Structures are given as C-alpha cells and as structure tokens.
C-alpha cells in the first residue's frame, strides 16, 4: 500500500507547504502519491512531479474542483482510498477544511497537526497551545493526518514522477463557491516568509502598523504579522494573525513588537529560529522565549531601527 498526499495550491502555483508535508509523508516509509485536485492546474501537477519522494502524481482536473470545496475534494479522496493506507495534507486553511470531512466519510479519527512521525501509526502533536507534546497511536486501518509544516523540512525538487490523470466523481453539489476576497501584497506570504515582523496591541492603531511596522518589513523583505489582540482591536485583518487561532510560523527571524507574549501567540511562533522582542515592559512573557530582547518604547526604537537599516543599504 502507499500514502496519498493532497497538494495545497491555487490552481496556478504549488504551495511550499506541500514539499514540507512530503517530508512527513515519506517518514511513513511507503511510496507517496501526490493528488493535485483543481481546474486548469496542469502547471501545479508538473511542479508536484518534481518534489523529491513523489512516486506518482494523480491529476484530477474538473470545474467542480476549481475552488477545492471540502465536499467535492473529499468525495474524490475517499474514492481513491481503497489503494492507500494513509492520506496527508498540510495544516493549511485548505487542509483543515477538507481532511475532517475525509475522516468522517471514512469513519476514522483524524490525527491533527503532527510534528513528528515516530512510526507509521504513532505520531507527536502539540496540545494545550503547544505547551505539551502528545504522543498518539492510531489503530485505524486508514490514517487521516494533517501536518504542522513548520516542524518538517521541505523536500527537494529534483524529482521526475509520472503524472496520471484521474477522473473526478459526480458533483456532490452540497455547497457552492460565492466569492473570495484575497488581499494582494508584494511582501512574502506569512507562513512561508524567512523574516516576520509582528505587532501587538502596543501599536495602538492600524495607522501605526503602516507607519512603524510596514516600512521595516519592506526594508527587511519580511512578512507582516499581528497578535490576536491587535486583530481583535481592528488594527489588522484576520489573515495577519499569528497564534494558536491564527497562522503558525517558524521563520529564520521573528521580530515581536509591542506583543506581551500571551500563550496563544507563543503557540504560533515559538519555533522560530531567532526571536527578537521589543517591549517597554521588561516583565512581559515574550522575553522568556526571546533570543534577543530590547526593553524600550517601540515608537522610539522602530524609527531608530529604520534609520540604521537605511544606513546599511549598499
């Protein structure tokens, strides 16, 4: 038997999370087939074929899969599962949408957000906002797994797997796509960025994010994030939120500005390689996880940082 990995994509570009999820899939010790389900997504299938570890790419191209609705994709996946022991997907918005329905249709328990593969049936996953790591063993014959991609390295892209066309099942028709409001930015995508600078409630307003945070992000080539408190206060949109109920990031450099370090926020960024904290409260919990801490008023520190970065430009 083999493992099925569901590719994360937008019909044009393969998400980097797929290559990371591949590392988890390969750890199960079986051949891995990658499922690319969408519409007019041939380029994605070709990109998936290059991922190291892919033994085959299954390309399902149909108008009903254009928006990867959970009902339509899960029907496709369940129809393929007779040939697979396990199905994996990255813990992205798409993976979290599709995989619970796949598990329900297969009548098995989902193993969510795994951080380590101990054996084909035993995994580690975070609980209590990442403060404890739980080892779970699944006795289900079919494993349905989502992967915390920040815990796995990306597989290489020197492969050349064959691409096989698979037919989509009849339209389920339980849901329809209405619209998507996608915010476009020249900055890196938050979960894939090498540098992230996040602001908290200490910024005091959305205008201050634009005035103090965004210029530094542009100088560093960084993505911009926000704490839940800043999002709840309306300073930034929901898709900027880093934390347990937002996005999980693990960049090479994470700069936390005006963020106290609530446990929910730490759960989303504490795996960052280097953490820098800027806060005027020297007792803020964020300093307990920071590699470098600066106690000071962010409204004085950030302009000075911006000036120094400008000086360092060639």
Q: How far apart are CA 27 and CA 207, in angstroms?
A: 46
Residues 6 or more apart from 3 whose CB is under 8 A from it?
25, 28, 30, 31, 32, 33, 84, 85, 86, 87, 88
Residue 301 lies in a domain: yes
User: pLDDT per residue over 5-30, tens digit each?
Assistant: 999 999 999 999 999 999 999 999 99
pTM for the whole structure: 0.84
Are residues 195 and 110 part of one domain?
Answer: no
CB 216 within 8 A of CB 224: no
Given a cut of 90, whether residue 192 has pLDDT beyond it is: no
Q: Please name which of 182, 96, 89 lies closest in space to residue 143, comparing C-alpha atoms.
A: 89
Residue 19 lies in a domain: yes
Are residues 19 and 134 part of one domain?
Answer: yes
* Average pLDDT for 148-154: 93
CB 57 within 8 A of CB 33: yes
Given a cut of 70, whether residue 34 has pLDDT beyond it is: yes
Are residues 142 and 10 part of one domain?
Answer: yes
CATH code of the domain containing 226:
3.40.50.1220
Residue 256: which domain range?
190-312
Residue 81 lies in a domain: yes
| Predicted confidence band of residue 183 (pLDDT cuts 50, 70, 90) | low
Residue 173 lies in a domain: no
Are residues 205 and 153 part of one domain?
Answer: no
CATH code of the domain containing 79:
3.40.50.620
Of 78-87, 123-132, 231-240, which gets the smallest average pLDDT? 123-132
Residue 171 lies in a domain: no
Are residues 14 and 157 part of one domain?
Answer: yes
CA dihedral (93, 98, 99, 105) in degrees, to 10, reads 160
Residue 139 lies in a domain: yes
What percentage of residues in the chain have a pLDDT greater than 70? 99
Are residues 96 and 16 part of one domain?
Answer: yes
Q: How far apart are CA 92 and CA 113, in angstroms?
A: 10
* Average pLDDT for 205-224: 96
| Predicted confidence band of residue 210 (pLDDT cuts 50, 70, 90) | very high
Q: How far apart are CA 97 and CA 104, in angstroms?
A: 12
Are residues 96 and 210 part of one domain?
Answer: no
Are residues 108 and 218 part of one domain?
Answer: no
Residue 41 lies in a domain: yes
User: pLDDT per residue over 109-134, tens digit each?
Assistant: 999 999 999 999 999 999 887 788 99
Residue 180 lies in a domain: no
> What is the SS3 string spanning the chain?
CEEEEECCECCCCECHHHHHHHHHHHCCCCCEEEEEEECCCHHHHHHHCCCCCEEEEEEEECHHHCCCCHHHHHHHHHHHHHHEEEEEEECCHHHHHHHHHHHHHHCCCEEEEECEEEECCEEEEEECCCCEEEEEECCCCCEEEEECHHHCCCCCCCCCCCEEECCCCCCCCCCCCCCCCCCCCCCCCHHHCCEEEEECHHHCCHHHHHHHHHHHHHHHCCEEEECHHHHHCCCCCHHHEECCCCECCCCCEEEEECCCCCHHHHCCCCCCCEEEEEECCCCCHHHHCCCEEEECCHHHHHHHHHHHHHHHCC
Are residues 155 and 32 part of one domain?
Answer: yes
Q: How far apart are CA 44 and CA 16, in angstroms?
A: 12
Are residues 111 and 24 part of one domain?
Answer: yes
If one counts the domains in the chain, the total is: 2
Are residues 198 and 124 part of one domain?
Answer: no
Q: How far apart are CA 194 and CA 21, in angstroms?
A: 18
* Average pLDDT for 133-156: 95
Question: Mean pLDDT across the chain, nearest whole number?
Answer: 94
| Dihedral sign computed on CA atoms, order 109, 114, 116, 117 | positive
Are residues 247 and 151 part of one domain?
Answer: no
């Amino acid at each position: 038997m083999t493992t099925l990995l569901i590719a994360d994509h937008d019909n044009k570009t393969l998400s980097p999370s797929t290559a990371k999820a591949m590392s988890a899939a390969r750890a199960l010790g079986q051949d891995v087939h990658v499922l690319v389900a969408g519409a007019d997504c041939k380029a994605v299938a070709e990109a998936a074929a290059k991922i190291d570890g892919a033994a085959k790419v299954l390309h399902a191209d149909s108008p009903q899969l254009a928006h990867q609705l959970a009902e339509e994709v899960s029907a496709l996946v369940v129809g393929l599962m007779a040939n697979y022991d396990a199905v994996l997907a990255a813990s992205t918005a798409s993976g979290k949408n599709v995989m619970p329905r796949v598990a329900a249709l297969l009548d098995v328990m989902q193993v969510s957000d795994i951080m380590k593969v101990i054996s084909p049936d035993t995994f580690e996953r975070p609980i209590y906002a990442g403060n404890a790591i739980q080892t779970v063993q699944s006795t289900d014959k079919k494993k349905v797994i989502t992967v915390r991609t920040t815990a796995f390295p990306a597989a290489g892209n020197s492969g050349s797997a064959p691409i096989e066309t698979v037919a989509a099942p009849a339209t389920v028709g339980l849901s329809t796509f209405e619209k998507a409001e996608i915010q476009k930015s020249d900055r890196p995508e938050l979960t894939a960025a090498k540098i992230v600078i996040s602001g908290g409630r200490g910024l005091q307003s959305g205008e201050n994010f634009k005035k103090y945070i965004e210029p530094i992000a542009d100088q560093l080539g960084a993505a911009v994030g926000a704490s839940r408190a800043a999002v709840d206060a309306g300073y930034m949109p929901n898709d900027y939120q880093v934390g347990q109920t937002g996005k999980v990031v693990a960049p090479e450099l994470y700069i936390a500005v005006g963020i106290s370090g609530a446990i929910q926020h730490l759960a989303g960024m504490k795996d960052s390689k280097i953490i820098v904290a800027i806060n005027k409260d020297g007792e803020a919990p964020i300093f307990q996880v920071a590699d470098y801490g600066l106690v000071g008023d962010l409204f004085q520190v950030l302009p000075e940082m911006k000036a120094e970065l400008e000086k360092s430009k060639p």
